[in-house]
């Protein structure tokens, strides 16, 4: 049974992260429970040397940060295998945790001990890693990248949650707020300010308001964008999204988006600042040229059968 080091984001899950950290401290040595922060690289390096697994306790953004730390630890010491990463999901979407079979731990120490036991016995697998590079940015991602209206909705959701923390609490409430923002948000059509290219990629349709490049078969809290998608084949699916009712039908899982192709990379030019997001973390992209490339793999733990 492998040793586990829990990396907890105290802000995840409407304060559930802080409660989980307290629970874990009662059930595991203090050296095995750490808060997400600036020392993540050292923690990943220590896990690599001892053969321990890292457990990201938080949402998709927390998982991405821990995965990247594990990848960089392996680059620094290529003679040692990278530490595998498991997940105790606490976020809103939890897309990667859903793909790997991990569920939010139940309340109480008994339920948490059961979740810890499953993590210790988890099966190892690999997950594709991607890197976005452009003006002033170089960022790794593992789930999906997007530009346009869905990234804009993510940014508005984050802003709403920061301004009204008491209103936007709980998974169900979060989904209702997200859906309302989706219905109310409008964005310029991609054709007016961006151009994406890659050999074999179909042109973006004139009605598209967002382009999504997905590496895993779960998007926006469990939506399957394409059939037959794999997490470890070096390919990502690119789809186009509309806005308004059509976007709502896709995010509700009632309609599939338009698939443009499977790619090993993507290049996009934008003519004015616009919304982008990686693994649910939004940012404002500046004018210029951006490239997305497959950039290695990381080790993960999945629940198995």
Q: What is the CATH number of the domain that holds 237?
A: 2.60.200.40
Mean pLDDT, residues 104-122 taken together:
90
Mean per-residue pLDDT, 3-19 = 88
DSSP tag of 117: H
Identify whether residues 282 and 150 lie together within a single domain: yes
Which tens digit of pLDDT belongs to each residue from 114-153?
999 999 999 999 999 999 999 999 999 999 999 999 888 8
Tens-place pLDDT, residues 152-174: 888 877 676 666 655 555 555 55
174-188 residue pLDDT tens: 555 566 666 666 778
| pTM (2 d.p.) | 0.91
**Residue at a domain's end among 88, 121, 154:** 121
**Residue 263 and residue 148 share a domain:** yes
Fill in the DSSP letter of residue 180: H
Q: What is the pLDDT of residue 175?
A: 56
Closest among 288, 268, 289 to 190, alpha carbons compared: 268
Q: Which residue has the higher pLDDT, 96 or 253?
A: 96
Q: Which of 90, 121, 152 is the last residue of a domain?
A: 121
In the chain, what is the straight-line distance between the N-terminal and C-terminal CA atoms, in Å?
Answer: 17
Same-domain pairing of 114 and 145? no
Q: Mean pLDDT throughout 219-227?
A: 88
Kindly state the tokens that stand for 89. 């999901």
The share of the chain scoring above pLDDT 70, in percent, equals 90
Please indicate, yes or no, whether residues 138 and 242 belong to a single structural domain of this protein. yes
**Single residue among 98, 121, 144 that ends a domain in this structure:** 121
Residue 169 sits in the same domain as residue 92: no
The span from the CA of 88 to the CA of 103, in Å, is 7
Q: State the pLDDT at residue 79.
A: 92
Query: What's the token pair of residue 77?
Result: 């010491």
Q: What is the CATH number of the domain that holds 117?
A: 3.40.50.10330
> Residue 37 falls within a domain, yes or no?
yes
Say if residue 108 is in the same domain as residue 143: no
264 located within any domain: yes
Confirm whether 304 is domain-assigned.
Answer: no
d(CA 32, CA 24) in angstroms, rounded, equals: 9
Consecutive H or E run containing 289: strand 288-302
Range of the domain at 28: 4-121
């Amino acid at each position: 049974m492998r040793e586990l080091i829990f990396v907890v984001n105290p802000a995840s899950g409407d304060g559930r992260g802080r409660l989980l950290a307290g629970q874990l401290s009662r059930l595991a040595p203090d050296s095995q429970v750490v808060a997400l922060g600036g020392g993540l690289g050292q923690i990943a390096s220590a896990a690599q040397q001892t053969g321990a697994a890292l457990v990201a306790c938080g949402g998709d953004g927390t998982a991405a940060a821990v995965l990247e730390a594990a990848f960089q630890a392996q680059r620094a010491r290529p003679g040692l295998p990278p530490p595998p990463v498991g997940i105790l999901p606490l976020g809103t979407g939890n897309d990667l945790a859903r793909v790997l079979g991990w569920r939010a731990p139940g309340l109480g120490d008994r339920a948490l001990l059961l979740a810890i036991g499953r993590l210790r016995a988890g099966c190892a697998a690999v997950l594709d890693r991607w890197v976005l590079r452009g003006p002033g940015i170089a960022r790794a991602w593992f789930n999906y990248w997007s530009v346009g209206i869905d990234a804009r909705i993510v940014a508005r959701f984050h802003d709403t949650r920061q301004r009204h923390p008491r209103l936007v609490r709980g998974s169900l409430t979060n989904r209702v707020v997200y859906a309302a923002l989706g219905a109310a948000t409008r964005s310029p059509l991609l054709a007016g300010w961006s151009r994406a290219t890659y050999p074999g990629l179909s042109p973006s349709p004139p009605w598209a308001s967002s382009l999504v490049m997905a590496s895993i078969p779960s998007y926006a809290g469990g939506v399957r964008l394409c059939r037959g998608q794999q997490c470890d084949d070096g390919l990502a699916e690119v789809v186009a999204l509309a806005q308004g009712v059509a976007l709502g039908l896709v995010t509700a899982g009632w309609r599939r988006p338009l698939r443009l192709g499977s790619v090993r990379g993507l290049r996009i030019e934008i003519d004015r600042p616009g919304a982008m997001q990686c693994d649910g973390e939004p940012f404002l992209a500046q004018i210029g040229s951006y490239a997305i490339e497959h950039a290695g793999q990381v080790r993960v733990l999945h629940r198995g059968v």
